[in-house]
Structure 1
Amino acid sequence: MGERVFVLGVGMTKFSKPVADGPSYLDLGQEAVAAAMADSGLDNSAIQQAYAAYIYGETCCGQRVLYRSGFYEIPIFNVNNACASGSTALYQLKRSIEAGLLDCGLAVGFEQMQKGSIDVGWTDRPTPLSRHFGRMKSERGIGKAPAAPQIFGNAGRYYMEKYGITAETFARVAAKNHRNSVGNPNAQFRDEYSVAEILDSPMVWDPLTRLQCSPTSNGAAAAVLASERFVREHGLQQRAVEILASQLVTDPASTFESNDADLAGAGMTRAASHAAYVESGKGPEDLDVIELHDCFSTNELITYDGLGLCDEGGGGKLIDSGATDHGGDVVVNPSGGLISKGHPIGATGLAQCHELTTQLRNEAGPRQVPGASVALQHNLGLGGACVINIFGRPQ
C-alpha cells in the first residue's frame, strides 16, 4: 500500500453553451486553476507536477493554460482519453503521489467546444469507434442521428426489450437531474422539467429525446492532490478529502461480442467498480452520494446495474421508487449531472470531483446530501475508458 492521497482544493467555472465571442480554453482553464489553488490555501510553489485533460485542441494546450497560471518548469502531461479524460488525469496524478514520486500536484480539465453534436475529427483514417459502429450496424443498423445517442439509445432499447423498462422511466432520470441542477450555480441549464415535457421534447434517437441528452459545453475544472505526509506537514487535515480508491479500465474483448449495453460501456463499469470496491474496502451499500456519467438518461439507469446499486435489470425500479433522489438510499447526480450541468469533455471528470469534494465537506448548499461520508465518481469514455474514484469524508 502506497501513500494515502487527498484532495486539498477544487475549482470550476460555470459550464456554458459554446458561443463565438465566449471565453477561450485559456481563460476557462486559468479560472479553474486559480479557484482550486485558492481553495487549497497553497501557492504555486507547492505544485510539483500537473496533468491537463482536453479533447478539442492542438498539442500542448495544457502548457498554455498552466503557463498562463504561473506554472513553469514542472512536468506537464496532456491527457486525451475520450470523455473520461478529466478523471484519467486525476487517476494519473493520484497514482504518482501514491507511488511516492511527488507530494503535491494539480489536475485540470478544460474544453472549448464547437457548436452542434460531436463529430469525427479526422476523416482520412480509422476512427477509434469503428469497431463499435461495426457492431452496432450488424445488430441494429445505423441511422442519421449523431453516433453517441445511437449507441446509448440502443443500449436503452436493449434494456426496454429485456427488462420491460419504459421510455417514461428513462425520462424520470432526466427529470431528477434537471431538478437537481436548479441548486447548482455552475450548471449550464438550471430549468426544471416534468416527465411529460421531457418526453415531448424533440426525438434524437428513440427512446432519447433532446432533454435526455447532455449538451455541447464550454468549461473547466481543477483539483489539487497531495500525500498524507504533505497534508499533515501543512496542517490541512480539516478539509482534506481522501481518495479511497481509483481504478481505470478499458474495454473487455467481450464488448464487441456482447449486448448493446456493454457496447455502451456497461462491462467497463462493472469491472472498474468491482476493483474500486476491493481497493477501498467499501461497497455499494456504503455510498451516500454518486456523480455518474449520465451523458444520456439511458446510461445513468444502466450504470445503476454496473455499480451494484441493484440486481441486473433493476435500475427501473430504483429510479421509479425515488431511491436515487434526495431522501433516497443514495443520491445520484446532485449537481444535475452531465444532462443539466453540461459536458465539456475534458472538464467533466474533474467537475465530478469538485461536486463530491464539496458534498463531503458539507459545503454544497441547497443540493447538500445530509451526512454524506462516502462518495463515488463514475466517468466513462467510449473507445474506451472507465474511471471509478471513491472518496471519503475528512477525518
Structure 2
Amino acid sequence: MKRFLIILLLPIFASGTDVLLERVPESGVQPQIVTTSDGTLHLVYLKGEPRGCNVRHVTKKPGATAWSTPHTVNSTLGSAVAAGTIRGAQIAVGKDDSLHIVWNGPGGKQQPAPLLYSRSLTHGVTFEPQRDLRADTQALDGGASVAASAKGEVFVVWHGAPADSGPGEINRRVFILKSTNNGQTFAAPKIANADDPGVCACCSLKAFVTPSGELLTLYRAARSMTQRDITLMTSRDGGETFQHRDVGLWVVNMCPMSSASVITTGKNTRAAWESEGRVFTSLLDTTSDAVAVSPDKARHPALAINSRGETLVSWSVGTGWQKGGQLAWLVLDSGGKPTSNRGLKPGVPVWGFTAAYAEGDRFVILY
C-alpha cells in the first residue's frame, strides 16, 4: 500500500501533450514496435486463430500517414500463439538496422512448444525462414524475448527447464542464446540464473541492450509458491556473467501471466512492470524508487518517450483469460514526475494489450 500512496502524494503537473489512440492494423493483437535509425517504425502483431496465428509486420516511414501493406513473418503458417497474451512476438533492431523477431510456437502432448526466430537483413522487406532455437530445453511457457546491439550481438532469452530437471517452477531457469554474427548462428543455450533458481512459469520476460552495451533482462522469479518478485538481471560482459536484484516485490500464490516493458533515452533506461495488480515504473539505476502509476486491475505496460523527454506509460485494465478490457495511460514529465495527462478508454480486444510510440512531441497508443 505504501507504494501506491507514493504516486498519489506526488505533485501533479499539467501536460498539453497530445495522446492519440490507434487500432492495430487488421484488428491484430499484442503489438510490439521499434524504430530503426532512419526513423521508420516497425510494428509486429498477431493475426488469426488464438492457438495458431501469424506474426504480421508493417512499417511507417517518417511523415507517412498510414502503415504499409502487412505481410507475414513466420514461414510456417499458424505457428504463433495469441492465447494467454504473453507468448507473442517480440522484436529488436540490430546491426545495420537488421530486425530480429522471436515468438513461442504452439505445442502439443507429444510435441514441445518451439521457440521460433526469424530475422530480416532487408529492413523488413523479406524475412528468413523461421528457426526453432529451443534446443534440448523443456517446458517453454511464458513468452521469450530478443535483444540486439549495433555490434552484431543478438540475444534470445527465455525461461524453461533443463532437459534433466524435475517438475516445478523452482527448477525453471532463464536461458540465453548469443549470436556474434547478427543472428546468422547462435552458441549453445546458457543458464543465466544458476545461482538464483525459480521462474514464474507463465509470465513473459523482457530483454534489452542499452546504448552502453549492458544486457538487461526483467523476469518474474518464483523462489517459492508465494514469491513472485520482478527481478532485474544485468550482464556487463556480453552475457558471460550476470548480476541479479529484485525491483518489484509481490507476495501472491499464483502466476499472474504478466509482461514488462523497457525503453532507453540518453543515459537513462526506464522499465515498467506489474506488481500487486498495479503497474509500476522506475529508472533502472540503484537510486530511483519504483512508483505505481495505476489503480488496481492494471496489466501489460508499454512505454514511449517523445522529443520533449516526456514518457508515456500505457497499460490494459481488466483484461484476462478470453476477456478484453480498457486501455489507460499516464504521461510523466521530462523529470519523471506524473502529469495531469492521463486517460481511460474501452477497446482492448481479447488477447490484446497496448504498444506506444512518439511522433515528435505527441504520443500514439496502439491497441
The structure where strand makes up a greater share of residues is: 2
Whichever structure has more helix as a proportion of its residues is 1
Question: Could you tell me the TM-score, scaled by structure 1's length?
Answer: 0.30
TM-score normalised by the chain length of structure 2: 0.32
